[in-house]
Structures are given as C-alpha cells and as structure tokens.
Amino acid sequence: MNTPNLSILGQDNSHLFHPNHNVDTHTSLPPELARHQAMSRVFEQGKLTFGLIAPFKGYPNTAKPDIADMGDLAALAEKSGFAALWLRDVPFYDPNFGDVGQGLDPWVSLGYLAARTRTIALGTAGIVSPLRNPYHTAKAAASMDALSGGRFILGLSSGDRPVEYPIFAQDFANRAERFRDEWRIIRTLTAPKTHDFPVIDSPFYGTMSGNVDVYPKTPHRLPMVAIGRARQELDWLANESDGWIWHGVNPKDTGNIVQTLAELNQDGYWRPFGYANFVDLSDKPNDEAKLHHNIFLSGGSNRLLEFWQAQKEQGLAHITINLKPSRRPAEEVLQELGENVIAKL
C-alpha cells in the first residue's frame, strides 16, 4: 500500500510525556462548557467520539476534491452518529503539502453546513490564527455561534506551511507568540457579556481603548481548542485551551499524554485530548488494522473498532477522521463507520 506524504506528521514526540498513574483524570468540563451544545456533544468524559474532516470523502489521486456533494455528506455524517464536522483553513495550494482541504473558505463553508444540518457540532481544525486578524476571527466565530444555535467550536492553529507567511507579510518565526496573543484577544472579545467595551493592548494587533463595543455577543463561553501543538508548552495547552486535538500521535503514548495534561492542569477541570487519523476503510470488516506514520490508518471496520476501543481505554476523547486516502464511495464508508464503529463505542 502506498502511504501519502505526511511531511512532519510522523515525528516522534514521546519524549515530551511521562507516565504518572496517580493523577486523577476523572474530572469534568467546566460547568459553562458542560452545558454547551457542541462541546458537550464532542467531548464527554469516558466516551470516544468521532469527527469528520471536510470534504467528508476520499480524494486519493488529487489535491483538489470535488465538493458538489459536501452538504449531502454532512447530513449523512450527522445521521450516522458523527459528533462533529471539522473544516481546515488552507488559503493556498502548496504542492509540498499535496492538498487544499475542502478548497473553500472555512467561514463560508461553515455557514452553509449550519444550514444543511441540525444537531452535529461544527468546528475549525483549525483557523491559522497568525495569518488572520483576531478581531475578524472573533466576529466570525461569534456569528457562527449565533447562526448555528451554539453548535460551534473554534479550533485555532499556528500554521505549518512556511510558504504562506511571506504572502501575508507575516513572520513565520514569531507565530507562537502571535498565536497566544490572538487567543487572548478572542477570549476577551467572546467572553459572555462581561467584557462590554473591551480594553485591549496588543503588541501585534493594535489596541482597543474601551470606546467601541463588539457585536454579536456570545451568551455563553465560546469553546476554543488548540489544533496541533501550536508551538505551545504543555502547561499552556493544559490550562488555556478547552481541549487539544493533535496529529502524529504514537498510540502507545495516548495514556501518558492524557495523564500529563491532568498533572499540569491547575483549575481541576478536564482538558479532553483527541487526535487525527487518515482512514482508508477496507470493504472487508475483518482486515487487520495497520497504522503508518502514527496517523494513516487502514483496515476493516471490526479491527478499527478494536484499535479505537483500546485508545478509548487510554482516555482518548475524540478522533477526527480524514477520508482523503479512501477509494470507496463516501456514502458506504460513512454508513459502515456509523453502524460498525460509532454505534458500538
């Protein structure tokens, strides 16, 4: 089997984590997030849920997928039991990375998917924050939260495609600092009702002196999750982010990562951990599950169920599935995953 070019996704990060089985990870989400429709659907203590990355189907031989059926597949994913639909932020086609995601602007796509679905969570995985103005991002996120009826989760990343940064006249080297600053600004602008006429002083994104206000207001805390490492320290991820979705994770490290986040956390609330898998689902349910580069997973639905069940037992909370390598019809794959995997976990 030919595996895709996964670039840096196969890196070994096991040295970052250490086991500490005395740490209590049986905490819950903060109350305001436990009541949030999207956050509570995607992250539920003791459960493993599944999300689907747009365009929700396979396109193994091209970088630019056909998106004509994206709305229909979103509705089928919702019916099949997926907890979330995730959209990536890919402004340009870089041949070194080999794909453009859904190819459409994520904010426009989210509005369309909100109209095509009813209950499934909608999220970004993730908006490349150093390439966007945080004031625009905050307004778009609050608007999406309002139009979807509270079904939105804002996922932010620091970006990993150096070619994009000169185009936006941005410095690739300081993206970690700007990521944290943008995160702080968006938190302030989307805080429920308590930050009217906000005051903000940023070294990167200007100032607000309390003479103007932001609209729309979010009536509840907006869930914000880190996508990828975002070049942040683990204690930042364990305390500032409401959740963390990574990639390239050795499945043997999952339990240690969950334990490490719990050990570093200071407020006593659960910080759920998830990761991404490229998935090529065999039409033979008992075909062996095989993992390549710690992200590319192939096999039959019965064996994938066993693989993910073992990850659930280590504390994994969410899997984001990217079907790019799949050659089977998307409708078959979504229905089989729904019946043979999601319904049984």
CATH value at residue 65: 3.20.20.30
Mean pLDDT (the chain) is: 92
pLDDT digits (tens, 9 = 90+) for 17-33: 555 444 455 469 999 99
Alpha helices, DSSP H, located in the chain: 31-34, 37-42, 70-79, 106-116, 134-147, 164-167, 175-189, 234-239, 254-264, 301-313, 330-340
Q: What is the CA radius of gyration of the chain?
A: 19
Query: What pLDDT is attached to residue 61?
Result: 93
Whether the model pTM is above 0.75 = yes
Closest CA to 308 of 48, 1, 37, 23: 48
Residue 314 domain-assigned?
Answer: yes
Backbone angles phi, psi at 134, to 5 degrees: -65, -25
Tally of domains in the chain = 1
Query: What pLDDT is attached to residue 327?
Result: 96
pLDDT digits (tens, 9 = 90+) for 272-291: 999 999 999 999 999 999 99
Residue ranges making up the domain that contains 168: 7-344
Q: Contact, 76 vs 115, CB < 8 A?
A: no
Residue 227 domain-assigned?
Answer: yes
Query: What pLDDT is attached to residue 192?
Result: 86
pLDDT digits (tens, 9 = 90+) for 173-229: 999 999 999 999 999 999 987 668 999 999 999 999 999 999 999 999 999 999 999
Query: What pLDDT is attached to residue 320?
Result: 98
Averaged pLDDT, 333-338: 98
pLDDT digits (tens, 9 = 90+) for 231-262: 999 999 999 999 999 999 999 999 999 999 99
Residue 129 domain-assigned?
Answer: yes
Query: What pLDDT is attached to residue 29?
Result: 95
Residue 295 domain-assigned?
Answer: yes
Q: How far does Cα 99 stand from its chain's mean position?
A: 17
Residue 153 domain-assigned?
Answer: yes
Query: What pLDDT is attached to residue 248?
Result: 95
Residue 1 domain-assigned?
Answer: no
Backbone angles phi, psi at 192, to 5 degrees: -65, 105
Query: What pLDDT is attached to residue 194?
Result: 66
Residue 11 domain-assigned?
Answer: yes
> What's the DSSP call for residue 54?
T
Query: What pLDDT is attached to residue 10?
Result: 36
What SS3 state is found at 243? coil
Query: What pLDDT is attached to residue 19?
Result: 52
Query: What pLDDT is attached to residue 98?
Result: 83
Residue 335 domain-assigned?
Answer: yes
Query: What pLDDT is attached to residue 8?
Result: 31
The share of the chain scoring above pLDDT 90, in percent, equals 89
Averaged pLDDT, 140-148: 97
pLDDT at 1 over 90: no
